[in-house]
Structure 1
């Protein structure tokens, strides 16, 4: 079959882009990871950079983590429970936190025997002083500060002892004066020298290093600063400080730091020792796998290209890069195939024999090797430093004409007409309890299933799998000229009125990301979905269960992606097994429970610190998606299968709750209002979640016709739980005590869980609803990305569409400011910024937009409950509602004009729009059409 000339393909693709709103596109290659475009099939993820001289695909496999199967719960921790409760009842929070820190937190990996190893290692590295460091060879340049750790400056995965050196010029007028050397914050420990004299040492990321430099240590002219930085785990380096006062300056003691002299920006570093003993860690971290690097010859710069464009087509889940170089038009296409568990690419040029490049693997793992598999395949093998998991990736090339050669280091293609690339990867992970799989065999088997297949055939197979899910939903909020701008320019110029289509694109991008990062057979979407480039990702890129994991799945049911929840339910089932041990060892309770984080190995014990790690309602919250899935699908067999996790979560609280001596209410203690206010007795959020858990477990039991006695017990206990309370500022109290600060703008709004995503504060309870509104107003309209997303949903549930849209506008603000700092918003590739990148804001924002258009949590379809004035006209098709309904609707001039409701399970359906109501006795499979007055058509 003859192919159309590539220039014609390029023209057609550019024309299609102008007509296709569901596209992210750019006129320059990605400069950094948050510019690159994501692909994923639920198991493999890749970030495509679109470079001209070099293409980079940074890729992940969803089961490559640190850690290993091991015990997480601390045996006998429950012995401390009575004393912890007593201390909290007596108002002795600090004492309770100290006791919990010492005897109640979960077990760390490598905890036993660590301190002697650490002491010996420290003695060894500190034996090297300034003279020996200065005499060392191999000093290299580095850019300082490194706000996100020295990993961001090319030292990814480095733990150990590293020396840094720079200098400053001493003004003659300062002769005889003592100075202050300001270095900001350092990870973790430093020994700082000036002209070879130790002038200060400290440890801890929160401590700002300002050291006195005695005049005796100074000399006229140039003064050398030498810093030994010792880092044990996670990120390291000189990270600066977030404050107005200058850092990396020297100034006379007592003087204004702004009058100081800056340290030379020509910093150098020397790695002294990169093998500290493995630091004890509570939980594991998600890891990158590697990079596929395509080096093109000659390696021209982007400035020599014409008509450059890269884009992500959401409807095809495909990344395309096109450009003209020296008169030749080049095209690259990549997609992630779920049916074949592979990433597939194609390289084209508009002439014969014009494709020449070298392909190689890179990886940040210290333990890695590449090797030739056969005359078309190169392999990468990696082993995580801290853990039992290893992985193998295969890269295979099929070239039409031309020459292919493979060595142990690279794969070379010369003079080909067309090239197809196939990438597979696998690990030895079997389950959270087993790691005895053969990654080489897995990668090879997967490659055999995809290699040799034509690109077009694989693409069509991919589209048949992907498009039925993605195309089940559509949203049109209107169109403006800004829609034709590149995506990064649209973000900079965004407002809801100038570019409403960017919001529609953002919601659809959230749906795309969920399909890409959560498919049956894979792991659930973690804090970064399944994309991660760092060995030390923020918060381990784990599953944070005090909101973030749950938020990842908020849009699934409403936006037609119910199938994407399968990995979540897999995690819940496994965590329920692991959580039984934690319930017993830490609380002497039955059932199962989970604290505020879990990982690949399903750790459920408290982690990090006692002031926020002891939070007991993670399992209870994770039963909500189970009940939601049943409500949306009416799948009784699914409910029957997963009812035990609801029942056992309820059983834990039947055993755990205690009666408060002061009020007589049942309360949750010890616990925490997530990451706010320390260890307490009776946080409001706990009681809201537990009430909902008891209600939904009772309802599920009734649906299934089981456990009548348990239902009665749960209903009785729910009535005895501490109720929502309104405080002295008119706010909904976050704690049992009335101690909220109306000036507090903390990112968590945990006590509003009963508004969203819970149902503990119904709209009909206007008094409590108003108190929740007051609390939300007091917390403000700013925040990290996921916090903004939660506020969108809350304002939607409070039926204030204009306020919800205002928060959405903040959520879509540029994350990267001109000063180089970051804030909550979006990066150039529309990834959510915590900052740094966290995917939950993308998912939460997508869900919030759906809540503005339709709500069904109260037992009826509430149509356009929070429509903002800036969306005067629009159409949405394929919204899902509880009861098994698929809803499409249209509006003009801010008023509903048409409504279609398809009943998938034949349930009764009450519809409300404003003050209008209609009840339909539906039949399964039938669609009901109504006008704007809710009159049948």
Structure 2
């Protein structure tokens, strides 16, 4: 028989020693919000574990659950407008070019046909309800105002439509007979605002600050009612009145100082008039949450509380005592079994009593009983064709289990194992005919009946075969032993707590393994974790840096196997992108603009001033070549070579000669999200030049397409070169128009330094210009932007500056007042803000780049070692050529290096001014001291 008290005591003792475990995130209280919760993932299912006492919440996702549907994305005949757009840009008429492109060149939207008449009819019905009818309607509820992240953050998740909001203010007697200004800040999207039943203002647009004149005749002595009809069509809604330079939610006399105004009553209420507006046309789909598993316990008080995420075991543990009885909850996401597994135990037999139930933010949802131990959740997205089914099964030792359509009741059990599976009807980006219930049931059959211990051991073997290939030690300090993780973040400095940086690096590897495994989708903007029906930027695949950054650490940090989903996306996007290349550019090959989604949309989206960016496909070929360089896998390269070849073919057709310079240029395009639609952005030329050279090199490796190789080489030479501008900067555009005071988050023109190789270290003129540009952009930024700068400073061999950026990257995103900025949240998630996972991945890659670089054809050891890491060790770094690198350094100097050759390629080592060349044999390991002498 299992001796529960002894096992629990052992586990509790191990939890109290968590500070001595370097690969642990740990906390002394439950998660209060989503970015406090701890992530689990198996590449297909993800869960955020909150660790509550009275109620446990597991918010979960399934990686194929999105809005949208298979459909055309490219706009037929758009290419006929390409010559006009190019001509307008050549004439310096940017605004006219953007206007023409906005009307005729952007991709197709879903639901575009027939939308305007439907919207007009719906609005007519909505606006027929006046203030008096709304005020008298039953069902008004309290709400917190303002809601900076939309009323979704105040409990109205997924709500679009017409909502009335009301409050009041007291009119001072001295203001009798005066007109007032009512200040409401910004509103999403449209409002009709009434005071005492009289319409005083209406406007539309989230950037507009609502300040309405209230005539004296509309006012009453004393109490005055304010009613606002807010009409929201899509995404977030509500009163978001933030970032104002003057008081918001006040009334004051016309022309007076707003600071002298009276505040609106904070006791706001809302009434939902209609939550079914016509589906808004959208360019691309959005990643969706699936649901929640909620466990409700009869006790809410706890002592000796601790929760932790063991990233080397990929499991969360929550432990506490109630009335002297220890309770333990353990969870992990099993990749072999396609399931999330939980185990609940207590130190006293018969102490586990709770209910388990599903919840979901989707309007179309239902739960139902499957059998005596299993509850199911069925969900359907509102905007799209995807539906999903999740199974939750309970296996209890002793006690009683009762299942209804609403919940599972567990009474008096000794221990309980939970099994969670989920599936959708998604087959691939063109087909959605799968049966989600059969899939969820099949996954459940594969896991139920298995003991928790067996599944846990299987899971750990699977996870650790990836995770344990790498180890790093950057030094230690007292905080790692004394402080919980959230407090370590608040007190972080790179000299006092270098181990937090090592933890952050390993956490990045943990997140990549958890969100990108063979058979699943690639890591999106949030990996695979998302709680919102309206996630920022749709939680899509943004391809003007963010998707690529997600995979920067993969090859360097021993996670080549995690790239399989990315290459699957690239193959599918290459097929879809052929249609876009033809319809928009009358070109061969394939093209991808700055975003894609589950359905592999490749056409330009959003707005013409940033959505027409033509080098997404070209950049996505870089990971293919990188994978080959790191693995030397010719079979892989042969399979992927057509993708490179077709990406190059597009630019052979697309590039045009600039009449002023004679150079080949990319037009129309933009320097991502900066400066509008232009001809000849520097980043494009860097990426295209590298693509053409890479494709030529791949063809040479494979012994194919000799004639094409020469053509690509010739075209690469004709491309507009990198230029140094009048401020000593690397020019971002064809023209010398950079502003040295510009601190834009994108540093796109530095792509040739990192992740590209278009600007080699040996070219000190261009390297210095890149350094000048980077200094001008400054050291601030949000998560992914900071992560890119870490990598750039590493490539520029300035480890101290790279570490300064890392310090900003690990700054607390949340202050004591709850305001947000770039940095990290309590759970070490990267803050854009809000959460975006690319900063985690980019930061991890940047630290690896500080220790080893191999892009220049040799292994550069400790190229950017900062003074704050005087001693340390790293094992399992990967280098191009198929090498595994182990390093040790002391007093800021290399003391030992070990190189294992996996492919038998020639190897050149460099450390400072020292060089060593050697011929290697596959499988053999070579050891050297700090002077690169053989040991």
TM-score normalised to the size of structure 2? Answer: 0.99
Q: What secondary structure does 2:611 align onto?
A: coil
In the alignment, is the contact (CA less than 8 A) between 2:181 and 2:254 conserved in 1? yes
- 2:43 corresponds to 1:42: yes
CA distance in structure 2 between the aligned counterparts of 1:169 and 1:734, rounded to whole angstroms: 55
- 2:315 corresponds to 1:314: no
CA distance in structure 2 between the aligned counterparts of 1:819 and 1:397, rounded to whole angstroms: 41
Give the alignment of 1:520-669 within 5 angstroms.
520-669=518-667
CA distance in structure 2 between the aligned counterparts of 1:854 and 1:128, rounded to whole angstroms: 66
Q: CA deviation at 1:819?
A: 2.9
1:237-277 residue CA offsets vs partner (Å, 9 max, x unmatched): 11113133221111222222222221111110000000000
CA distance in structure 2 between the aligned counterparts of 1:49 and 1:707, rounded to whole angstroms: 56
Give the alignment of 1:318-467 within 5 angstroms.
318-467=315-464
Q: CA deviation at 1:175?
A: 2.1
Residue of structure 2 equivalent to 1:474: 471
CA distance in structure 2 between the aligned counterparts of 1:618 and 1:180, rounded to whole angstroms: 48
User: 4+ runs of 1 displaced by more than 4 Å?
Assistant: none
Residue of structure 1 equivalent to 2:129: 128
- 2:785 corresponds to 1:787: yes
Q: CA deviation at 1:784?
A: 1.1
In the alignment, is the contact (CA less than 8 A) between 2:27 and 2:306 conserved in 1? yes
CA distance in structure 1 between the aligned counterparts of 2:389 and 2:727, rounded to whole angstroms: 59
CA distance in structure 2 between the aligned counterparts of 1:595 and 1:7, rounded to whole angstroms: 54
CA distance in structure 2 between the aligned counterparts of 1:257 and 1:764, rounded to whole angstroms: 59
Q: CA deviation at 1:309?
A: 0.3
Residue of structure 1 equivalent to 2:688: 690
Give the alignment of 1:518-917 within 5 angstroms.
518-917=516-915
1:790-848 residue CA offsets vs partner (Å, 9 max, x unmatched): 00001110111111000000000011123322111000000000000000000000000
In the alignment, is the contact (CA less than 8 A) between 1:428 and 1:435 conserved in 2? yes
Q: What secondary structure does 1:880 align onto?
A: strand
Tell me the matched-pair count: 933
Segments of structure 2 that go 5 or more residues without pairing to the other structure are: none
Residue of structure 2 equivalent to 1:169: 170
CA distance in structure 1 between the aligned counterparts of 2:258 and 2:795, rounded to whole angstroms: 49
In the alignment, is the contact (CA less than 8 A) between 1:548 and 1:840 conserved in 2? yes
CA distance in structure 2 between the aligned counterparts of 1:664 and 1:230, rounded to whole angstroms: 53
Q: CA deviation at 1:7?
A: 4.4
CA distance in structure 2 between the aligned counterparts of 1:294 and 1:925, rounded to whole angstroms: 51
In the alignment, is the contact (CA less than 8 A) between 1:6 and 1:349 conserved in 2? no
CA distance in structure 2 between the aligned counterparts of 1:245 and 1:895, rounded to whole angstroms: 55
Q: What secondary structure does 1:611 align onto?
A: helix
1:580-604 residue CA offsets vs partner (Å, 9 max, x unmatched): 0000000000000000000000000
Higher deviation after alignment, 565-574 or 250-259? 250-259
CA distance in structure 2 between the aligned counterparts of 1:656 and 1:241, rounded to whole angstroms: 44
CA distance in structure 2 between the aligned counterparts of 1:700 and 1:257, rounded to whole angstroms: 66
Residue of structure 2 equivalent to 1:231: 232
CA distance in structure 1 between the aligned counterparts of 2:699 and 2:867, rounded to whole angstroms: 43
In the alignment, is the contact (CA less than 8 A) between 2:556 and 2:878 conserved in 1? yes
Give the alignment of 1:154-233 within 5 angstroms.
154-233=155-234
Higher deviation after alignment, 352-361 or 812-821? 812-821
In the alignment, is the contact (CA less than 8 A) between 1:28 and 1:308 conserved in 2? yes
CA distance in structure 1 between the aligned counterparts of 2:466 and 2:603, rounded to whole angstroms: 36
Segments of structure 1 that go 5 or more residues without pairing to the other structure are: none
Residue of structure 2 equivalent to 1:926: 924
In the alignment, is the contact (CA less than 8 A) between 1:688 and 1:760 conserved in 2? yes
Give the alignment of 1:248-263 within 5 angstroms.
248-263=249-264
CA distance in structure 2 between the aligned counterparts of 1:52 and 1:294, rounded to whole angstroms: 9
Q: CA deviation at 1:210?
A: 1.1
Higher deviation after alignment, 577-586 or 817-826? 817-826
1:552-581 residue CA offsets vs partner (Å, 9 max, x unmatched): 000000000000000000000000000000
In the alignment, is the contact (CA less than 8 A) between 1:208 and 1:241 conserved in 2? no
Residue of structure 1 equivalent to 2:276: 275
Q: What secondary structure does 2:610 align onto?
A: coil
CA distance in structure 2 between the aligned counterparts of 1:540 and 1:2, rounded to whole angstroms: 47
CA distance in structure 2 between the aligned counterparts of 1:404 and 1:252, rounded to whole angstroms: 65
Q: CA deviation at 1:865?
A: 0.5
CA distance in structure 2 between the aligned counterparts of 1:884 and 1:603, rounded to whole angstroms: 34
Q: CA deviation at 1:213?
A: 1.3
Q: CA deviation at 1:14?
A: 2.3
CA distance in structure 2 between the aligned counterparts of 1:193 and 1:796, rounded to whole angstroms: 57
Higher deviation after alignment, 27-36 or 206-215? 206-215
Q: What secondary structure does 2:916 align onto?
A: strand
Q: CA deviation at 1:16?
A: 4.5
Residue of structure 2 equivalent to 1:147: 148
CA distance in structure 2 between the aligned counterparts of 1:473 and 1:245, rounded to whole angstroms: 52
1:282-306 residue CA offsets vs partner (Å, 9 max, x unmatched): 00000000000000113x2xxx311
Q: CA deviation at 1:225?
A: 1.1
Residue of structure 2 equivalent to 1:27: 28
Q: What secondary structure does 2:46 align onto?
A: strand
In the alignment, is the contact (CA less than 8 A) between 1:199 and 1:212 conserved in 2? yes
Residue of structure 2 equivalent to 1:77: 78
CA distance in structure 2 between the aligned counterparts of 1:129 and 1:773, rounded to whole angstroms: 60
Residue of structure 2 equivalent to 1:293: 294
CA distance in structure 2 between the aligned counterparts of 1:927 and 1:587, rounded to whole angstroms: 51
Q: What secondary structure does 1:919 align onto?
A: strand
CA distance in structure 2 between the aligned counterparts of 1:174 and 1:745, rounded to whole angstroms: 46
Q: CA deviation at 1:102?
A: 0.5
1:437-484 residue CA offsets vs partner (Å, 9 max, x unmatched): 000000000000000000000000001101111011011011111002
Q: CA deviation at 1:6?
A: 4.2
CA distance in structure 1 between the aligned counterparts of 2:880 and 2:46, rounded to whole angstroms: 32
Q: CA deviation at 1:15?
A: 5.0
CA distance in structure 2 between the aligned counterparts of 1:764 and 1:14, rounded to whole angstroms: 51
CA distance in structure 1 between the aligned counterparts of 2:173 and 2:893, rounded to whole angstroms: 75
RMSD: 0.8
In the alignment, is the contact (CA less than 8 A) between 2:8 and 2:346 conserved in 1? no
In the alignment, is the contact (CA less than 8 A) between 2:20 and 2:480 conserved in 1? no
CA distance in structure 2 between the aligned counterparts of 1:512 and 1:477, rounded to whole angstroms: 18
CA distance in structure 2 between the aligned counterparts of 1:2 and 1:46, rounded to whole angstroms: 29
